[in-house]
Amino acid sequence: MKILAGNWKMNTTFEEGYNLIEALKTELSPERLGDVVVVLAPPVVQLTQAIDLLIDYPEMAVAAQNGHAKDSGAYTGEVSMAQLADAGADAVLIGHSERRQYFGETDQDVNAKVHAALNHELRPIVCIGEVLEERKSGDHLAIVEKQLRAAVAGVTPDLAENLVLAYEPVWAIGTGETATAAQAQEMHAHLRGVLRDLYGDLADHLPILYGGSCKPSNGAELFAQPDVNGGLIGGASLVAADFIALVDQLQKA
């Protein structure tokens, strides 16, 4: 499965979100998408708008950017996986580097959210990745493997078939450093090997997305790598022409 996911983060008004989705719907016909599945992750206040706009476009799914592990309770400001599923969301981002960095999410938090998402038939897009110091230490493969194993602890093979991974080289986002396609492939291949250790042949069918400053200028090279099955796109997902260009690159890969 090839997936191009757009994480809008804390951007776009209702009108901007509406216009962006309408632009994508106009250009991205089922024929143009081919075997690429598009996932859009707007701000939570726009989730139902996105769901309504895409109700007749099964090739384009809607994800939340976050969800709470508890189904309900006194957690002011949070939204549960149960509520996201009830609203009609298809998927949810879990463990994004910004959630870990700014909101203190731990591997244990990520694991609890993965289980909660699966319990409510939401597809978890599980984000893992190392920071610059960890990359320079040479321990990056072991560090990201540890994150992956912790994230999916207790997830049985029958549920694991719903997993999507997103590798974020945090060190290559806004640092001036650049991740090469070869570096992306090295990590993706390693993660696929960990999944194979955990789930056997199922690992060959689980999408591993690249989430480190992917844009039209480097998308084709990244998507050409054998273990890169798509992208988790930030800034480029806010510009319809850029996101559409990435869809075309992934479709041809």
Catalytic (active-site) positions: 96, 168
- Report the alpha-carbon distance of residue 54 to residue 156 in Å, rounded: 31
- Report the alpha-carbon distance of residue 5 to residue 32 in Å, rounded: 16
In this structure, the dihedral spanned by the alpha carbons of residues 95, 97, 103 and 107, taken in order and rounded to 10 degrees, is 40
Number of H helices, E strands in the chain: 12, 8
Cα dihedral 44, 144, 124, 69 sign: negative
- Report the alpha-carbon distance of residue 161 to residue 137 in Å, rounded: 33
